[in-house]
Amino acid sequence: MIDARLLDAVGSLVAAHARPDHIPLLGIAGAQGSGKTTLARAAAERFSAAHLSLDDVYLTKTERQTLAREVHPLFAVRGPPGTHDLALLEAKAAVLRATGPDSRTPLPAFDKLTDDRAPEASWPVFAGRPSAVLIDGWCLGATPQAEADLTLPVNALEAEQDVQGRWRGAANAALAGHYAQSFAGFNAMLFLKAPSFDAVLDWRCEQEAGLMGLSPADLPSARRAELAVFIQHFERITRHMLTGGVRADRVVQLDADRRLSPPAYGRS
């Protein structure tokens, strides 16, 4: 169940930026498993808003394979900056913000089973004019790191597979470029702040167990080990965001159980 205070936080941003001639663009950021997508969906239903996720606009598998060949093999894995079609996200947000009451707007979707964008014929359709456009994403609002901070690897993945730092450097450059430009177009950003990066693995494992119909304690240890490696792709930027490397209008501090920690709300 979504904490009513979280819905109120989103609702206050919608109310603060909505005008009769203006549909606000609002972001909900947070690490894997923080509940950002669940919150965005619930808020969209509550406030008659449209919802998009950064996960809906991954580059296609072919596009990521090209990045992997031309830039760095780690770009085959979806998620880090550089693996999203921000032009598609911006175009759909613009269309939604220009809709009328009779409009029907197809929204991008990504098929994680095939690791590729879903066919357009299967995309969900938003009907009408939304009160706001809500976009959730793990790295929304993230700021680039200083070049000196990229030198040392933060985990085994970087130490073993990004020895020269080309992958993290390219992701950081993406954050400083198109991602920063895209984030600047948001009217406001809410950040669900994890208590530490250590909580992210537990949260991601809870998600995986739920998809498998298991309790978190029954998730196979081999799968937990795989997820521990997977989240290393996001560790650098997540840690940076948790230590202040994010531009957010409202920060909601979570505890290890994803409950709001007092004080519940703050500003970055």
Give the DSSP per-residue string, 58-88.
BPPHHHHHHHHHHT-GGGGSSSSTTSB-HHH
pLDDT of residue 35 exceeding 80: yes
Secondary structure of the chain: what % helix, strand, coil (to 5)?
Answer: 45, 20, 35
Cis before 119? omega within 30? no
pLDDT of residue 146 exceeding 70: yes
Other CB atoms within 10 A of residue 4 CB: 10
pLDDT digits (tens, 9 = 90+) for 83-95: 999 999 999 999 9
Give the pLDDT mean for 54-70. Answer: 97
At the fourth CATH level, the homologous superfamily of domain 4-253 is P-loop containing nucleotide triphosphate hydrolases (3.40.50.300)
Paired tokens of 58 = 């991954």
pLDDT of residue 235 exceeding 90: yes
Averaged pLDDT of the chain: 94
Residue 268's pLDDT is: 45
Global confidence as pTM: 0.93
Give the pLDDT mean for 151-165. Answer: 98
